[in-house]
């Protein structure tokens, strides 16, 4: 009986020592692209951003984030009224088609792909995300969109990657 317990203990110890975490898997599950500086303002009085004043309105900032940032009006009141996400799809973020765009059939969702010509959507991985919180709801992506912080200053919004 003593040898049986000892052999079980050695087996468990050996099993624990031989198991290693796959570094690529751990990194892939915690972040899908490196940190990028994000700090810009949107004046909602400008014609290009006036849609943000209305529920389900959105605005694309092309020169921010990894592949741009989309800012969205959730229709809620208070601090959750505006949300901002990086336009990079978490599934294969280095792919040239890995952009997130507003779904033309329902502005409540984003989907992976781009409108390269007006009215013609070119899909990438068929992933779909909720606009309210960026959660992945279908497709190949296994996690939600990277979210940024939004501070409301009346008719101006400030979007940053760090809380103010």
Rg of the chain's alpha carbons, rounded to an integer?
A: 21
Q: Where are the domains of the chain?
A: 35-160
Residue 91 and residue 142: Cα distance in Å, rounded?
7
The Cβ of residue 72 has, within 10 Å, a number of other Cβ atoms equal to 25
Over the stretch 35-91, which tens digit does the pLDDT of each residue have? 899 999 999 999 999 999 999 999 999 999 999 999 999 999 988 999 999 999 999
Q: What is the CATH number of domain 35-160?
A: 2.102.10.10
Indicate yes or no: pTM above 0.85.
no
Over the stretch 123-144, which tens digit does the pLDDT of each residue have? 889 899 999 999 999 999 999 9
**The dihedral formed by the CA atoms of 74, 150, 35 and 66, expressed in degrees to the nearest 10:** 60
Q: Tokens standing for 32?
A: 């899908």
**3-class DSSP assignment, residue 24:** helix
């Amino acid at each position: 009986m003593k040898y049986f317990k000892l052999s079980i203990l050695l087996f468990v110890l050996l099993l624990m020592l031989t198991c290693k975490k796959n570094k690529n898997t751990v990194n892939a599950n915690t972040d899908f692209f490196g940190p990028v500086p994000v700090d810009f303002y949107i004046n909602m009085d400008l014609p290009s951003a006036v849609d943000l004043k209305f529920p389900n309105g959105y605005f694309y900032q092309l020169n921010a984030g990894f592949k741009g940032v989309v800012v969205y009006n959730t229709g809620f009141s208070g601090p959750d009224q505006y949300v901002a996400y990086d336009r990079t799809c978490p599934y294969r973020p280095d792919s040239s088609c890995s952009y997130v765009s507003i779904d033309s059939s329902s502005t409540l969702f984003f989907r992976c792909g781009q409108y390269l010509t007006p009215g013609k959507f070119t899909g990438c991985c068929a992933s779909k995300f909720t606009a309210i919180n960026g959660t992945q709801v279908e497709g190949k992506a296994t996690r939600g969109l990277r979210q940024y912080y939004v501070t409301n200053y009346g008719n101006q919004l400030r979007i940053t990657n760090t809380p103010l």
